Structures are given as structure tokens and as C-alpha cells.
Amino acid sequence: MRKHIVAGNWKMNNNLSKTENLLNELKKQTKSSDAEVMVAPTFVNLSHAFKTLKQTDIEAVAQNMHFAENGAYTGEISADMLKSIGINTVILGHSERRAYYNETDASLAKKIDAALANNMRSIFCFGEELADRKSGNQETIVASQIKNALFHLKADAFTNIVLAYEPVWAIGTGETASPEQAQEMHAFIRQLLSDKYGDAVANSVSILYGGSVKPNNAREIFSKPDVDGGLIGGASLKAEDFYAIVNAF
Ligand code: PEP
């Protein structure tokens, strides 16, 4: 059975005291689903979050990392640095990173390789923009993002890859892909994996949906057979809302 995963991406929100408050609120929540739970605080609070969450079933994960092991990359963070503070999972290729920091599938392929070389799990994000959806090109775009960033990998690498389909037009906009649109794309992605790597790999990879998932729509989205969880932005900043989504499985 595929893992259910609900991951909260806190983005550039929460200073140290707000991070402490939210972590404390999260620790008070009760999980009634089988979902793996992750939260991604900003880098400066990541070590603190890791230590605070150590005895819980919530994993602290990173929002990004550089592909180089070390060197002259001012302001960047390496896989080795993340591992050294206990972090084993990293979100890569979020649409905001692609849009504002020029991340490309080629640079993301290198980041994926760096994560794998350091035995880290990647949550690889991708998704079409509104114009692509309007012109009916969403599958072409998503297929090229996945092929260009991941299809150089060997099949066994996929034990450390989680996919996150995030249509850009649904992120932070309040607009959600309908459960049917999400299912259609997730099934397409799984078929793409199957064509390249076979059914065993395709059926083992968790594919998350992201884009305005809230307590009031999570259950219906998660009920779709190829939706294995969610990457949550805004609604992950309130512990009760986030756990209402975690418990929607
Ligand atoms: C995200 O940033 O990955 C995201 C899905 O944000 P939101 O839930 O706020 O749309």
C-alpha cells in the first residue's frame, strides 16, 4: 500500500516565537488517520523544529536545498548541512522557487541527485500554469517536468521520491483543482511512471496534491484513488486546520 502523506509548507512565515507556538499547538493535536505528517519551517528555525518534534510522529523537513555539497554559494544550504541537523526530507521545485528563483527542471534534476546521494527523500513539486490548463496543455507540461527532472533515475531511486502535483493556478488562490481534475492528472502521472519504470514502481510512489487544500475540501480530494496526500500551504499555518486535513484520510 502507498503511504498517505500530508506535508505543511510554511514558506517564509513564522519567526522563532511564532514557530514555537505553532509547534506546541501541533504537539497537542490528535492524529486519527494513517497519514505521515511533515512540516517545513523556514531554515533558521529548522533545527529548533527538529528538536521540538523529535519525540513526536511529525517530521521536520526542508523547503529547498542547493545541489552542491559545499562551496561558494552564498546564502545556500546543502544536503550535508540538512542531514547534519537531522533532516531527511526536502521539498524541491516548488512553483514559487521556479517562478522567483529561476529553478528549472535541469537544476532540479541535480538537486534530486544530491538528495539521493545523501540518502534523503525528495518531495518533487511540479504543475502547470493557468494558461497551460486553458489551452489544454497541462499533461504535456507535467510530463516534461517529470521526464526532465526524474527520468534519468534508476527505478530503485523512487523509494526516496514523493511527487507533488501543484497546479500553479490553485496555489494560494483559494481556487482548487476539482477532485476529478486532480484524479485525472494523478492517474496520468502514474501511467507515465508505469510506462517508464513498470507498474511496481508506479504503484509504490505517493503522489500528493497541492493547491488550496482546506479542511472543507480535503476529504473529497483525498478520496480519489490516485491522490495519496496533500502539500498544504496556507492551511498548514493553523494547527487545527492542518490536523483537520491530516485526519481527512
Ligand atoms: C503550496 O504552497 O504548496 C500550496 C499548496 O499552498 P496553498 O495550500 O496555500 O494553496
Please tell me whether 71 is known to bind a ligand: no
Q: Is 93 in the pocket of ligand 1 (CB under 6 A)?
A: no
Q: Which of 94, 103, 128, 186 is catalytic?
A: 94
Residue for grid cell 523556514? 42
Q: 152 catalytic, yes or no?
A: no
On whether the 5-246 domain is CATH 3.40.50.1370, my answer is: no
- Burial of 74 per CB tally in 10 Å (0-12, 13-18, 19+): exposed
Query: Each residue of 166-210: pLDDT tens digit?
Result: 999 988 888 888 999 999 999 999 999 999 999 999 999 999 999
Query: Each residue of 216-236: pLDDT tens digit?
Result: 999 999 999 999 999 999 999
Domain boundaries, the chain: 5-246
DSSP state letters, 179-216? HHHHHHHHHHHHHHHHHHH-HHHHTTS-EEEESS--TT
- What is the pLDDT, as a whole number, of residue 136? 95
Q: How far apart, in whole angstroms, are the C-alpha atoms of residue 147 and residue 192?
A: 9
Query: Each residue of 109-119: pLDDT tens digit?
Result: 999 999 999 99
Please tell me whether 84 is known to bind a ligand: no
Q: Which of 59, 96, 103, 166 is catalytic?
A: 166
Considering the chain, what is the average pLDDT of its residues? 97
Whether pLDDT at 157 is above 90: yes
Q: Is 231 in the pocket of ligand 1 (CB under 6 A)?
A: yes
Q: Among 16-20, 59-63, 171-175, name the one with the lowest average pLDDT.
A: 171-175
Q: Is 177 in the pocket of ligand 1 (CB under 6 A)?
A: no
Whether pLDDT at 99 is above 90: yes
Query: Cβ(169)–Cβ(210) under 8 Å?
Result: no
Please tell me whether 10 is known to bind a ligand: yes
Q: How far apart, in whole angstroms, are the C-alpha atoms of residue 137 and residue 220?
A: 25
- Burial of 217 per CB tally in 10 Å (0-12, 13-18, 19+): middle
Please tell me whether the interface predicted TM-score (ipTM) of this complex is above 0.90.
yes
Query: Cβ(173)–Cβ(214) under 8 Å?
Result: no
Instruction: State the average pLDDT over residues 52-80.
Output: 97
Q: 94 catalytic, yes or no?
A: yes
